[in-house]
């Protein structure tokens, strides 16, 4: 259980914030923050209202100040919130006491920040929350209901001291008519958030409930009505409401999340709960832009090359149309990374756009978890800078304790650096947060493959293919596991099937050529390599794949040259080289060690 933060410690943290470079040129924000914190410590929560702040902090006349026409409090609270985010993402990143101003409230929150965010995230005592798909009661608002579900999940995922089940797993229960306790057991959840969305003419009504998983007891519920034509702003307000309610509910259940604002006189914490709709999301993003953003997120989840290309185009439109919308920039950077990972484009062609999008996202929201995770991935794959990659990924986990992609990316980096035990723990955490997602199982199978536990890896991939025969990752990794465990004939069958099922991807031809070389059929392997050269004249083919074929053919100098080209061209796949069994024959040679050392990879 975390201790209550003593007032003198809070004031010390407040002094550090006020004297920082981020706040040095803003006496107005120093004054506003100090007033909010001191009133909080004194237990005078009634003073943390817009009218009171306008009069006592900003000097507006008490007899004439009207917040409806004078928005100074809302505007400066928004700017203060952004300044705090910049501070804790830079100068204040090492501090353990964090002062935050939640969206939709003028009541600051105070919390201890664990010195070891990874250890805290792995704490089995943390309460687990699952946001179930909101029910569409109108029959024509299913997509909107899913979007609202996503907003609530994303808001909760950034909270400390809880674990939030990822959307991939929760959405598998969309439309399910099952006992709530069965769903909770499947998701390993302690608390469930459920509800509905209904269209009523030109309005939307959202009803949200928080219930206990073991007995279905309703702990909290509320409803809000919003304008159909401003639905995404309405969704942000609902999300803010739920984010404020969850800590109160968990406190009632004796879960110490330490994110409830402490009071000196035992004042009712419900006083801190009210959501100010006008402040729920800043800056405003046009509804059409938010609609494109949600459509892009849907396209990403389809997981095909065509859908990913469409998502990238939509996110590019979002970033251009709403330059202050940080999540749009982050989504564009992530989609571009995924296109490179699926060999849809070369890394060189995407590097500048990825850098620009990540920087734009972090400039606008320095604590955006997905932006830090993408930055870490970029450092790792394209700059071969593992130290900075690790720092960025740990920041992503700090700012998004339930952001499952950050754990996966960090696990990949640890795996590539041969820190297998740590990678296993991170993959396990990702699986706890997303227990029903097949991709997490693929990744854990990949770890077994790189640890040379081929029989166990094949068992994982075989199970995945039984469920989804079109899973290209599971199929190609199953083939690779067969190949490196000596089952060359099975590997050839699987790679040939990959070529038929996925003719738009180069991995099938690459794997087939490597397999034929392993079987001693070098002429046939070279024929397939030529087909891959022809493929490369029409679409991008990773230099790494040619290096794999050349190494299997025993053409080691050519393979090393190919790996160097892969590294210099920011090839996504080069990061695998130190653990890829294809290149084991080169380990220990001076040329191999020099290449690995040059690009920051393990080489002993």
135 plus 270 within the same structural domain: yes
Range of the domain at 37: 7-113
Name the range with the highest mean pLDDT among 206-220, 298-312, 485-499.
Answer: 485-499
Give the pLDDT of residue 114.
Answer: 54
pTM for the predicted model, two decimal places: 0.74
128 plus 275 within the same structural domain: yes
| Stretch 266-280: mean pLDDT | 37
CA angle 492, 306, 309 (to 5 degrees): 120
pLDDT at position 274 over 50: no
The number of domains in the chain is 2
Give the pLDDT of residue 22.
Answer: 86
The domain boundary, picked from 60, 95, 113, lies at 113
| Cα 190 from Cα 178, distance rounded (Å) | 17
Domain assignment of residue 59, yes or no: yes
Q: For residues 513 and 528, is the Cβ–Cβ distance under 8 A? A: yes
Domain assignment of residue 103, yes or no: yes
124 plus 229 within the same structural domain: yes
Q: What is the 3-state secondary structure (H, E, C) of 214-257?
A: CCCCEEEEEEEEEEHHHHHHHHHHHHHHHHHHHHHHHHHCCCCC
The domain boundary, picked from 113, 135, 151, lies at 113
Q: For residues 424 and 440, is the Cβ–Cβ distance under 8 A? A: no
Domain assignment of residue 36, yes or no: yes
83 plus 194 within the same structural domain: no
Helical (H) or strand (E) element with 195? strand 191-200
Q: How confident is the model at residue 236 (pLDDT cuts 50, 70, 90)?
A: confident
pLDDT at position 267 over 50: no
pLDDT at position 17 over 80: yes
Provide the CATH number for the domain around residue 191.
3.40.50.10070
Q: For residues 33 and 18, is the Cβ–Cβ distance under 8 A? A: yes
57 plus 178 within the same structural domain: no
Burial of 218 (0-12, 13-18, 19+ CB in 10 A): exposed
Quick one: residue 157, left, alpha or beta (phi over 0 = left, psi -120 to 50 = alpha)? alpha
Give per-residue pLDDT as tens, 347-373: 788 889 999 999 999 988 888 999 999
180 plus 91 within the same structural domain: no
129 plus 261 within the same structural domain: yes
pLDDT at position 284 over 80: no
275 plus 126 within the same structural domain: yes
pLDDT at position 76 over 90: yes
The domain boundary, picked from 113, 144, 162, lies at 113
Joined together, the tokens standing for residue 437 give: 């997602």
Domain assignment of residue 194, yes or no: yes
212 plus 265 within the same structural domain: yes
Give the pLDDT of residue 122.
Answer: 58
Give per-residue pLDDT as tens, 188-223: 898 999 999 999 899 999 999 999 887 778 888 888
Domain assignment of residue 459, yes or no: no
174 plus 259 within the same structural domain: yes
| Stretch 568-593: mean pLDDT | 93
| Cα 116 from Cα 118, distance rounded (Å) | 5
Domain assignment of residue 21, yes or no: yes
135 plus 225 within the same structural domain: yes
Q: How confident is the model at residue 113 (pLDDT cuts 50, 70, 90)?
A: low
Give the pLDDT of residue 269.
Answer: 35
Domain assignment of residue 270, yes or no: yes
Domain assignment of residue 220, yes or no: yes
pLDDT at position 417 over 70: yes
Q: For residues 189 and 213, is the Cβ–Cβ distance under 8 A? A: yes
Q: How confident is the model at residue 6 (pLDDT cuts 50, 70, 90)?
A: confident
| Stretch 248-273: mean pLDDT | 47
Q: How far is CA 69 from the centre of its chain?
A: 38
231 plus 146 within the same structural domain: yes
Give the pLDDT of residue 280.
Answer: 36
């Amino acid at each position: 259980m975390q201790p209550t933060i003593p007032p003198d410690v809070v004031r010390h943290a407040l002094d550090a914030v006020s004297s920082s470079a981020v706040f040095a040129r803003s006496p107005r924000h120093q004054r506003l923050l100090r007033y909010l914190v001191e009133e909080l410590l004194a237990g005078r929560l009634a003073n943390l209202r817009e009218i009171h702040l306008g009069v006592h902090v900003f000097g507006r006349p008490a007899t004439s100040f009207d917040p409806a026409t004078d928005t100074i409090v809302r505007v400066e609270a928004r700017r203060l919130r952004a300044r705090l985010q910049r501070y804790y993402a830079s100068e204040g990143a090492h501090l353990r006491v964090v002062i935050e101003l939640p969206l939709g409230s003028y009541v600051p929150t105070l919390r201890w920040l664990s010195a070891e965010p990874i250890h805290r995230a792995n704490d089995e005592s943390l309460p687990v929350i699952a946001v179930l798909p909101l029910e569409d009661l109108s029959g024509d608002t299913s997509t909107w209901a899913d979007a609202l579900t996503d907003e609530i999940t994303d808001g909760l995922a950034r909270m400390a001291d809880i674990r939030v089940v990822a959307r991939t797993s929760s959405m598998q229960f969309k439309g399910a008519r099952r006992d709530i306790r069965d769903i909770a057991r499947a998701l390993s959840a302690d608390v469930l958030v459920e509800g509905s969305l209904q269209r009523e003419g030109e309005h939307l009504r959202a009803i949200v409930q928080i219930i206990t998983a073991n007995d279905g007891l309703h702990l909290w519920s509320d409803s809000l009505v919003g304008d159909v034509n401003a639905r995404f702003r309405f969704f942000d307000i609902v999300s803010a409401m739920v984010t404020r309610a969850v800590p109160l509910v968990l406190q009632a259940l004796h879960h110490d999340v330490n994110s409830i604002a402490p009071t000196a006189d035992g004042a009712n914490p419900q006083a801190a709960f009210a959501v100010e709709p006008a402040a729920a999301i800043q800056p405003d993003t046009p509804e059409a832009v938010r609609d494109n953003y949600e459509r892009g997120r849907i396209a990403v989840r389809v997981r095909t090359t065509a859908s990913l290309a469409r998502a990238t185009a939509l996110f590019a439109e979002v970033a251009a149309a709403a330059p202050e919308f940080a999540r749009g920039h982050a989504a564009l950077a992530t989609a571009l990374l995924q296109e490179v990972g699926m060999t849809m484009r070369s890394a060189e062609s995407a590097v500048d756009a990825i850098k620009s999008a990540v920087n734009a996202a972090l400039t606008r929201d320095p604590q955006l978890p997905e932006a830090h995770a993408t930055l870490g991935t970029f450092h790792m794959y394209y700059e071969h800078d593992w130290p900075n990659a690790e720092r960025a990924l740990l920041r992503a986990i700090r700012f998004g304790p339930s952001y499952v992609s950050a754990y996966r990316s960090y696990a990949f980096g640890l795996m590539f650096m041969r820190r297998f035990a740590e990678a296993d723990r991170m993959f396990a955490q990702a699986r706890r947060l997303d227990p029903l997602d097949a991709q997490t199982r693929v990744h854990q199978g990949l770890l077994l493959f790189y640890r040379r536990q081929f029989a166990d890896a094949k068992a994982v991939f075989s199970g995945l293919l039984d469920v989804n025969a079109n899973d290209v990752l599971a199929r190609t990794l199953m083939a690779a596991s067969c190949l490196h465990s000596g089952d060359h004939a099975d590997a050839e069958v699987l790679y040939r099937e990959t070529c038929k099922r996925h003719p738009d991807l180069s991995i099938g031809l690459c794997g087939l050529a490597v397999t034929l070389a392993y079987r001693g059929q070098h002429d046939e392997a070279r024929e397939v390599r030529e087909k891959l050269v022809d493929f490369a004249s029409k679409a991008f083919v990773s230099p790494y794949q040619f290096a794999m074929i050349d190494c299997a053919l025993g053409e080691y100098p050519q393979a090393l040259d190919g790996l160097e080209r892969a590294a210099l061209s920011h090839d996504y796949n080069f990061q695998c080289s130190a653990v890829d069994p294809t290149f084991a024959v080169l380990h220990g040679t001076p040329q191999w060690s020099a290449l690995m050392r040059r690009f920051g990879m393990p080489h002993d």
